[in-house]
Amino acid sequence: MSGMSPSRSKWQVEEVRSDLPVADVENILSSYNRQWHVANNNQAQSHVSIGSREFADVLLTEMHMAEIRGVRDESTLDVGDAAYVGVTHAFDGDVDVDSERQRLDESNVQIWSSRSPISFIATRPVGFLNVLLPETCLHDRVPGFSGGYAVIGTDCPAGQLMASHLKAVSSAAKSHGDLDDRCVAGAMADVIANLIRCSNLCVQPDLRYARLAEIKRFIADNLKRAELSPRAIAQEFGFSVRSLHKLFSEHGGSVMRYVKEQRLEGSAKDLRDPILCSLSVTEIAFKWAFSDSAHFSNAFKAKYGRSPSSYRKERLNLPTR
């Protein structure tokens, strides 16, 4: 998981001793739940036990602690595509969330974002489950979502499903070593997206992101058209070409680089399709609007590390001549 501790492909348990310096405790907790400050006002730290397992981009943790006071302030916030979303369910004891004047316990679940300040206090022993994933994992599932905070009761079907799913995945993560990480991560993201849609969370659509998604759908529908260009796309959506380039650059890319990547992915899919064996590499290149076979071959090799013909032979187990 980008920015987190090394990969945790199996269930692992870390014990955080009560005699550790506060800075060390902060670093350990932050490796599981983004950046936190521990604010115990010089009180003795409590022992913390953390179980965890990573599924692709999703990190599941189970924490047990006697007492802790934590805060994410303005100095520790994430922005843009670096932001993460967390969902927390306290299955034993309760946690007071100061900034929202909420109490987390077994009757609810909390959605939070690493974009926003938040603080919590546990004054008695507490156990809770938490799942953390990049906000970008939710963009296609909840278009326009850009963080937020909400507490949803388990008397709500979506809240009940979330709490039950967290417990079920936690149980499976401890007892089953062989799980499909991407399948588990995708299912978790789907349940969280459902929770966001069904909650009282104020999702303020980012109209520019929604428009970018619309443009990408248009590109997907027209990838095989040789005349697809920034000017044609801009005209379709009433943009200036400059505005179109700016929209893509805001999200770390460029228009024609995106078009090229999508065309290369389409051509790779065709090359590994046994039904299309009768098509030559050049014919596939032209099908995906590459006008020059040498340019296609060079671009393909740069992306996939081998020539189109070698890629096809490897994927289809064709004999080498």
| Whether the Cβ atoms of residue 234 and residue 241 lie closer than 8 Å to each other | yes
Q: Which residues pair with 289 in a beta bridge?
A: none
Domain boundaries, the chain: 12-198, 207-316
For residue 3, name the pLDDT band (cuts at 50, 70, 90): very low
CA distance 60 to 73: 23
The CATH fold of domain 12-198: Jelly Rolls (2.60.120)
The arithmetic mean of pLDDT across residues 127-131, rounded, is 94
Q: What is the DSSP string of 129-195?
A: EEEEEEGGGGTTTSTT-----EEEETTSHHHHHHHHHHHHHHHHHHH-S---HHHHHHHHHHHHHHH
Residue 77 has a CB neighbour count (10 Å cut-off) of 18
Is the domain covering 207-316 a CATH 1.10.10.60 domain?
Answer: yes
For residue 185, name the pLDDT band (cuts at 50, 70, 90): very high
Helices H / strands E in the chain, number of each: 10, 12
CA distance 162 to 107: 12
**DSSP structural state of residue 317:** T
- Give the dihedral of Cα atoms 134, 176, 5, 55; nearest 10 deg: -20
Question: Which is higher by pLDDT, 69 or 249?
Answer: 249
Of 19-28, 34-43, 92-101, 311-320, the poorest mean pLDDT is in 34-43
82-126 pLDDT, tens digit per residue, is: 889 999 999 998 888 865 467 888 999 999 888 877 788 888 889
Q: Which two tokens stand for residue 253?
A: 């890319």
pLDDT score of 234 more than 50:
yes
Burial of 228 (0-12, 13-18, 19+ CB in 10 A): buried
| Whether the Cβ atoms of residue 116 and residue 78 lie closer than 8 Å to each other | no
Name every residue whose Cβ is closer than 8 Å to that of residue 144 and which is 6 or more positions away in sequence. Answer: 203, 204, 205, 206, 207, 209, 210
For residue 141, name the pLDDT band (cuts at 50, 70, 90): confident
Nearest to 142 by CA among 64, 201, 101, 218: 201
pLDDT score of 161 more than 60:
yes
Name every residue whose Cβ is closer than 8 Å to that of residue 232 and which is 6 or more positions away in sequence. Answer: none
Q: Coil, strand, or helix at residue 43?
A: coil
Question: Which is higher by pLDDT, 25 or 202?
Answer: 25
